[in-house]
Amino acid sequence: MRFRHPDGTTVHLAYCTNVHPAETLDGVLAQLRDHCEPVRRRLGRDRLGIGLWLARDAAHALVTDPSALRGLRTELDHRGLEVVTLNGFPYEGFGTEQVKYRVYQPDWADPQRLHHTTDLARILASLLPDDITEGTVSTLPLAWRTPEDERRATTARTALRTLGRRLDALAELTGRSIRVGLEPEPGCVIETTGDAIAPLASIAHDRIGICVDTCHLATSFEDPHTALDTLARAHVPLVKTQLSAALHAEHPHLPETREALAAFDEPRFLHQTRTLTPTGLRGTDDLGEALRGDALPDGSAWRAHFHVPLHAAPAAPLTSTLPVLKAALTRLVGGPHPLTHHLEVETYTWQSLPPELRPRARGRLADGIAAELTLARDLLTDLGLKELP
């Protein structure tokens, strides 16, 4: 979906396909047919933006076979879909029964991460619509916090500098500029937007920046206006933003709140949980850990890294951090110029919701994704952006 900002530039809105993961190119093509095109039809649009997630095997097939890449581009066009951004965070296995810590491997100290991200940039340069010359890729925020030492940190920074040179060469070769954004996430080396400033300053490349995920931002209790203003003052490139909402529990000490939270403690994904105390931010690596005993103080609100559907906050006594998303979006695109032109709805946890909230049929999932995009569209038009055909 495209929108005209009052300054005349185009803002893109997509949804991320990691909600229906596939490891192979055939699986990706099936996604377009079975999920993405039905969402587009529900929205009544001739063209829909999607943020592709390409696992290692699918990316390798595309980068080594030009005919396969051309075939994917043809299929996108045929189904009324366009791609200006990729999700390069998960490497493989995102649809397995237990992802948890595996999603952080390989990290940026491992050469596989550099090779894979380079492949994604090359693929995206070929998938961009004919009238678009800039694309974005989001990626792991260096590594999970352990084990991290200076040697691995140096290796990661060197890899990102190498990526920057490769992106420069790709732009010179193709005329298309691909930028990569490190995505801060609770528990990682770069956990908050502030954590990203020093590493990115040391890399100092205008094609390597940050991807702000509003669920992660909220989970860490960051104020969106303060965070975004700090990034702007530090001249950190804001590559893209993922529009998402975290799980919020205002009174975690109450038994009924604990019971409601327990329904979201599921085995596939890691749900880092945080609370803001007078002495600072406290947290656990997973929601279940927070719910056991006194692992996490419960005198103030808890937020869990669980991407809840934008349009459907959980029932009381829980809610979502949609207000944080709205505040961030106002700062991102509500001013005289957009801080970023690529927005991506990323609710990959639809099938990890409590059983009574999960879509039981493919059509119901498409309905939900369409409803999320409709909410995001309405927020953008309320800020003065004009939806384009």
73, 85 in Cβ contact below 8 A? Answer: no
* Integer CA distances (angstroms), 199 to 114, 218, 224, in order: 16, 22, 20
Q: Measured between alpha carbons, how far is 315 from 300 in angstroms, rounded to an integer?
A: 19
Q: Measured between alpha carbons, how far is 276 from 303 in angstroms, rounded to an integer?
A: 9
Q: Which domains does the chain have, with CATH numbers?
A: 2-246+320-387 (3.20.20.150)
Q: With cut-offs at 50, 70 and 90, classify the pLDDT of residue 45.
A: very high
| Spacing of C-alpha 343 from chain mean position | 9
272, 186 in Cβ contact below 8 A? Answer: yes
Q: Measured between alpha carbons, how far is 3 from 385 in angstroms, rounded to an integer?
A: 6
343, 9 in Cβ contact below 8 A? Answer: no
109, 152 in Cβ contact below 8 A? Answer: yes
Q: With cut-offs at 50, 70 and 90, classify the pLDDT of residue 30.
A: very high
pLDDT at residue 148 greater than cutoff 80: no
Q: What is the pLDDT averaged over residues 199-216?
A: 97
User: Would you say the pTM of this structure is higher than 0.85?
Assistant: yes
**Which tens digits make up the pLDDT trace of 233-276?**
999 999 999 999 999 999 999 999 999 999 999 999 999 999 99
What percent of the chain is modeled with pLDDT above 70? Answer: 100
Place of tokens 């890399």: 203
Q: What are phi and psi of 82, to 5 degrees?
A: -135, 155
pLDDT at residue 200 greater than cutoff 80: yes
In 3-state terms, what secondary structure has residue 312?
coil
Q: Which residues contact 72 (CB under 8 A, 6 or more apart)?
A: 25, 28, 29, 62, 127
Task: For residue 314, give the DSSP letter.
Answer: P
Among 382, 105, 47, 125, CA closest to 270:
105
Q: What is the pLDDT averaged over residues 174-199?
A: 97
Q: What is the pLDDT averaged over residues 277-299?
A: 95
